[in-house]
Structure 1
Amino acid sequence: MKINKILETVSDYQKLFTEDATFIVSDLEKYLYYRPGRIDFGFKPGDKIVEGTLMERAMKQNKKIVARVEKEQSKFGFPYIATVIPITDEEGVVGAMAVAFSTETQDMVINMSADLARVTGEIRESATEFSTSAAELANTNQRIAGESKELQAEIAGIQEIVNLINIISDKTHILGLNAAIEAARVGDKGRGFAVVAEEIRKLAQQTKFSAQDIRNKINQSLHRLNELVQSIQNLAAISEEQSAMAQQLTAAIEEISGVAEDLKNIAFKLK
């Protein structure tokens, strides 16, 4: 009888699988062979076949059945995956042989792949926001750098005006000095003119001192501005580098996210 030959060789079949596999052989009424693996249905040789199981269905339908049984549908209180084939001879179906595995590893892969897809999705969103912020920061720094250079040019223009004031004060001072000399030459008639000439010389001298003070302060401001511009340029370079790195990071995470999504889809197809 064919079923007896299977019982004689079933131990050889077992070598094709890992120790996690549970092997079952039955005739039409009872279990003839049972070796539990990671999962244990609690059968013993001689026990009657449990109704509604995959083995019973395979024998009734006379066809191979490969199925995943969830915990909610399981008659044994735990999920499992099983392959069942009917055993036939010239008289028809005489029994069945089944190999069953725990879904623990598969469920772990499914859950991990789903978590990975979720986490990489969150990281992708954060990386996209970071990349956008880095690009905005780089643009802002470039704009500030441009405005700082414009301010440098304006200060340089003010320096030119101060230089011009200084030249005018020098000429005014000489003019006042010449006027004083001329007033002294004409004597008493030039006394009033001498007073005006002296005031002109004083005003020219004060203007010169003020212009020098302004020049010193402008030079100090320009020195600080030059340092600020240099710092802004350095920051702009760093920001541009960060922006480029952020774009590379976003691209890499996009690729990882795609792999994670593929892994999740593959894992769910195993169910």
Structure 2
Amino acid sequence: MSQLLNSLLAVAPILQKAFLFDCMVGVTDREKFLAYYPAKGLNLGIKIGDPLRPGSINATAIAENKRVVKKISKEIYGIPYIAVGYPIVENGQVVGCLATGVTTDQEDRLRSLAENLTEALENIAAHTESLAKDADHLAQASHTLSDAASQMEVKIAETTQINKLIRNISTRSNVLGLNAVLEAARAGAAGRGFSVVAEEIRQLSHTTSMSAKDIFRILDEMNALVGTVSAEMEKTLNHSLHQSTRIQELDAVMQELRQMAEQLKKAAVLSGRQE
């Protein structure tokens, strides 16, 4: 047997313990396994004397006389791992291969965690964006309602002025009617017809006065309601602005978490490369 292979067989178990990661180590000649040291989490069930499988990392490294790195999926041995095959060359001839392998469970878990985290953040970001739009629409609606309430207050004030004018006309009509009755009484029989007209004027004045009072009452009630609506709209607007601010802060946190997820993905990739 090759002297170099004999030396490698002697140091193989020491090499396994010297690696930073829990690593399996195998030593082969050109045809079969000469030694195999499984890792705690990676045991392929290889025995000394097992032949090299065509296309395996050992056979490939020997055939091509170069370092070969392969990532083996979980479907083959039930354990995902990365293997490295390094040809052993003595006197210009490839006499065997040193193979090492480490599991990629941690890398896969990190990548899966990062992907799940990214997906969750995307969903949260989508809902946050929807909430932000709703908050903006609510704020715009509050502004519109507040403006409408202000305009209604102006219109009520204008109506109040008109009602005052009606009350003033009613008062003057009542005075004119009373004077007319007095003048009709002085005129005696000749003023009876005029007295009837004067009485109608007074009745009309009284009715107008009562209607004006009802209008004032209704306007006061409407004004009170408008005031309540305005106050509530102001509260709603403040809440909307506050909500919009909180959503913006939440979006900033989402951005930070998204960056952390990306860093986690990169860490998983780097971890795999180091292995």
Q: State the TM-score bracket (shorter-chain normalisation).
A: 0.7 to 0.9
Match of 1:12 in 2: 14
Report deviation, 1:211. 0.7
The answer for unaligned runs of 5 or more in structure 1 is none
CA RMSD of aligned residues (A): 2.5
Using the alignment, how far apart are the partners of 1:155 and 1:77 within structure 2? 81
Which 4+ runs in 1 deviate beyond 4 A? 261-271
Report deviation, 1:205. 1.5
Asked whether the 8 Å contact 1:124–1:257 carries over to 2, the reply is no
Match of 1:40 in 2: 43
Using the alignment, how far apart are the partners of 2:265 and 2:137 within structure 1? 35
Report deviation, 1:123. 2.2
Q: Residues 265, 18 of structure 1: CA spacing in aligned structure 2 closer, same or farther, 3 A cutoff?
A: closer
Asked whether the 8 Å contact 1:138–1:239 carries over to 2, the reply is yes
Report deviation, 1:83. 1.5
Pairing of 1:9-158 with structure 2 (within 5 A): 9-17=11-19, 20-37=22-39, 38-71=41-74, 74=76, 76=77, 78-158=79-159
- Give the stretch that moved more between structures: 96-105 or 141-150: 96-105
Asked whether the 8 Å contact 1:83–1:98 carries over to 2, the reply is yes
Report deviation, 1:169. 0.8
Report deviation, 1:255. 4.6
Asked whether the 8 Å contact 1:117–1:264 carries over to 2, the reply is no
**Count of paired positions:** 269
- Give the stretch that moved more between structures: 25-34 or 132-141: 25-34
Question: Partner amino acid for 2:205?
Answer: A
Pairing of 1:165-204 with structure 2 (within 5 A): 165-204=166-205
Using the alignment, how far apart are the partners of 2:243 and 2:19 within structure 1? 52
Q: Secondary structure at 1:15's aligned position in 2?
A: helix
Q: Secondary structure at 2:18's aligned position in 1?
A: coil
Report deviation, 1:78. 4.5
Match of 1:238 in 2: 239
- Give the stretch that moved more between structures: 1-10 or 153-162: 1-10
Report deviation, 1:145. 0.9
Using the alignment, how far apart are the partners of 2:48 and 2:72 within structure 1? 23
Report deviation, 1:264. 4.5
Report deviation, 1:45. 2.6
Report Cα offsets for 1:19-46 as digits up to 9, x if no partner.
Answer: 6321212223332222211121111233
Report Cα offsets for 1:149-199 as digits up to 9, x if no partner.
Answer: 111111111111111111111111111112222222233322222222222
Asked whether the 8 Å contact 1:131–1:250 carries over to 2, the reply is no
The answer for unaligned runs of 5 or more in structure 2 is none
TM-score (norm. length: structure 1): 0.88
Report Cα offsets for 1:32-74 as digits up to 9, x if no partner.
Answer: 22221112111123333333210121122221112102245x4
